[in-house]
Amino acid sequence: MQISGATIVVTGGASGIGKAMSRRFVEHGAAVVYVVDLDGPGAAAVADEIGGVGVELDVTDEAAIVNLIEQIERDHGPIDLWCGNAGIGANGGVELDDDVWNANWNVNVLAHVKACRHLIPRWIARGSGHLLITASAAGLLTNLGTAPYAVTKHGAVAFAEWVRITHGNDGVGVSCLCPQGVRTPMTEADGELAIEVVKAMGMIEPEEVADAVVAGLAEDAFLILPHPEVAQFEQRRAGDRERWLQGMQKLQARLLG
């Protein structure tokens, strides 16, 4: 995936990882970066800062996604890279009601499906195009204290794998970004178990994630792991699931005191 000269869309671009990626893409010569977010003023502010285009968009609104794709194609030509970076979380487990679960499902999984319905046919026709899904290390492992997030991020990883397997020979590139602890608005709270886990394991800055994304895209890597140790954790989990589960139980007990 060549960033230089590319037309790029970054959802969830008003802050955190999305903001850092948008800035980095411009620095690496992207032709245009669309900074897309439910927070329209925030997206516009980032776009003004980097010389991109800010768009207010609800990533669960398929009609709005189609309108955006068609607008970009009219104004700048085909989309080379779509970064599905918008995401939400919720603290809790089975006690959370269906509205919370559905919100996480709609943003963290179905938003990617809706975008791909309209991007993949275009990319197949052209023989090129790249999808980047921001999942999480929680999508390869799990996260304590937040069942909807852990479950839907597993779904995001699974969907990215499916697209890569199904359309990789059609010229569609796929990358799955799975960071661990990143200092963003989502990780600012104190005392919440899910956040305490990532703080205990070490936080990095969004700019470091953006650097990993640039490097991973240059190699057409599927898994982009800003925390290299996540690969080792995933191997341990697969190699001895029982031991890994017991270790996570111990970690949870320690963090809960």
pLDDT in tens, 188-216: 555 566 666 666 667 789 999 999 999 99
Catalytic residue among 82, 149, 233, 244: 149
Query: Residue 54 in 3-state DSSP?
Result: strand
Cα angle for residues 25, 174, 162 (degrees, 5° grid): 155
For the chain, the domains span 7-228
Q: Please give the Cα distance from 107 to 114 (Å, whole number).
A: 10
Q: Domain 7-228 class?
A: alpha beta
Q: Please give the Cα distance from 140 to 158 (Å, whole number).
A: 9
pTM metric for this prediction: 0.93
Q: Does the active-site annotation cover 34? A: no
Per-residue pLDDT in tens (0 to 9) along the chain, 257 residues: 999 999 999 999 999 999 999 999 999 999 999 999 999 999 999 999 999 999 999 999 999 999 999 999 999 999 999 999 999 999 999 999 999 999 999 999 999 999 999 999 999 999 999 999 999 999 999 999 999 999 999 999 999 999 999 999 999 999 999 999 887 766 655 556 666 666 666 778 999 999 999 999 999 999 999 999 999 999 999 999 999 999 999 988 988 87
| Closest residue by Cα to residue 94 from 140, 151, 138 | 151
Burial of 29 (0-12, 13-18, 19+ CB in 10 A): exposed
